[in-house]
Copies of this chain bind each other. A is one copy, B any other.
Amino acid sequence: MLPSALKKLIDELSRLPGIGPKTAQRLAMHLLRSPHQRIKPLGEALLSLKDGLAFCEECWHVTETSPCGICNDPAREKHQLCVVEDVLDVLAIEKTGKYKGLYHVLHGVLSPIDGISAEQLKISELFSRIDKHPEIKEIVLATNPSLEGEATALYINKHLNGRNIKISRIARGLPIGSDLEYADAATLGKALLNRTDY
């Protein structure tokens, strides 16, 4: 019923995560109604996405040059390493303005159910990076406070134990602006256990 060009676009859009066939149809119709000069930049951005884009061979953040801007920045603290799951986590932490050290992006978390083991992540790269750079004195484990994130943090902590490195885990507790009454028991329990001196 639909022209093949439109059908192809709907097919390709519905392959994206979180976009079902109905949303894909709606997006395609929106694009069809848009002038060509509005669609062109998106098409070009997709086709040229991979050109000149790579992962930093130090921290595995996405970058145009390796080492990346953060690793190359002389103003960053070289003795701190923040271990995150994902490139977007680097952005989230950078936005806070509370961290001035370097990063290490794991590109995932340990998840035996999904068949993801340490080999598929940048964990061995983390260990060899620590070996190579004795100036690294603190590891901040900033994986998500989920089951897999905690397991990954635990795994890294276990492997680094015994070295002369301070290992910390980001605080888990009540989010700012939340309500004690509606907090889940695990979060509230953590908030009580990890209470800070006032």
Give the size of the chain A interface in residues (CB under 8 angstroms): 51
Chain B residues whose C-beta falls within 8 Å of the C-beta of A43 in the assembled complex:
43-47
Judged by DSSP, the binding face of A is helix
| A53-B32 contact, Cβ under 8 Å, with A39-B46, A41-B8, A62-B6 | yes
CB distance from A45 to the nearest CB of B (A): 4
CB distance from A20 to the nearest CB of B (A): 12
Contact between A63 and B18, CB atoms less than 8 A apart? no
- Identity of the chain B residue whose Cβ is nearest the Cβ of A40 in the assembled complex: B47
Chain B residues whose C-beta falls within 8 Å of the C-beta of A45 in the assembled complex:
5, 8-9, 12, 43
A75 within 8 A of B: no
The residues in A between 76 and 106 inclusive whose CB is less than 8 angstroms from any CB of B are: 86-88, 90-91, 94
Chain A contacts to B: CB under 8 angstroms = 1-6, 8-9, 12-13, 15-19, 23, 25-27, 29-32, 36, 38-53, 62-64, 69-70, 86-88, 90-91, 94
